[in-house]
Amino acid sequence: MAARGRFIPKNPGKYLGDPNRIFFRSSWEIRVMKEFDTNPSVYKWGSEEIKIPYIKPTDNRVHHYYPDFLVVYKDSNGEVIKEIVEVKPLKETVLTAKSSMYDKMQIVINEAKWDAAAAFAASHGMRFRVLTEVSIFGGKMNKTKKTKPSKPTIGTKGTVKSKGSKWVQIILKTFSKIKLKMHFH
């Protein structure tokens, strides 16, 4: 997941914000950016273009959360959907017995951010989703941390029929329904 850099869109007119100032902080984010930029079902998208205040539970002070993405797309039913999307490793979204103390703290902080994002989205007629390696790649990461797209593990009604990659179909399916408990906001 470790990658940082500047993203140069092929379709700068689709970008919500300054298309010369798009930065990614992970290989997963750049993959999502490429799909948003080139997918014909996506009308507009932006990266860290929204500022949402939240109370950080570790210090009870107001901080600001900049979700990874805002995307406007047409689903398979022809409905235009506006959605706030966060990309996170699964280990920072689901508490397990094996979770490190750092991961446990990140989950608590992330939940505060996501609760604020969900409230913001609801008040603006949008949705909020968290995408993990499971929802992005449809399976587990291999030992070298390279990704292999596979069949989606998350089923939905009315999947998008697109000439794009399987991953495009997977990500648009996840927009419709994510079955991980912590992802419903």
* DSSP three-state, residue 152: coil
- Does the annotation mark 68 as catalytic? yes
Cα-only R_g, the chain = 16
Listed in sequence order, the residues at least 6 apart from 99 whose beta carbon sits closer than 8 Å to its beta carbon are 91, 107
DSSP classification of residue 91: G
Q: Please pick, among 14, 29, 37, 173, the residue that the annotation labels catalytic.
A: 29
152-to-101, 128, 131, 171 alpha-carbon distances in Å? 30, 20, 13, 9
Length of the chain: 185
Q: Please pick, among 68, 86, 92, 103, the residue that the annotation labels catalytic.
A: 68
Vertex 183, ends 168 and 153: CA angle to 5°? 45
Q: Please pick, among 14, 35, 88, 92, the residue that the annotation labels catalytic.
A: 88
Report, as residue numbers or ranges, the catalytic residues: 29, 68, 88
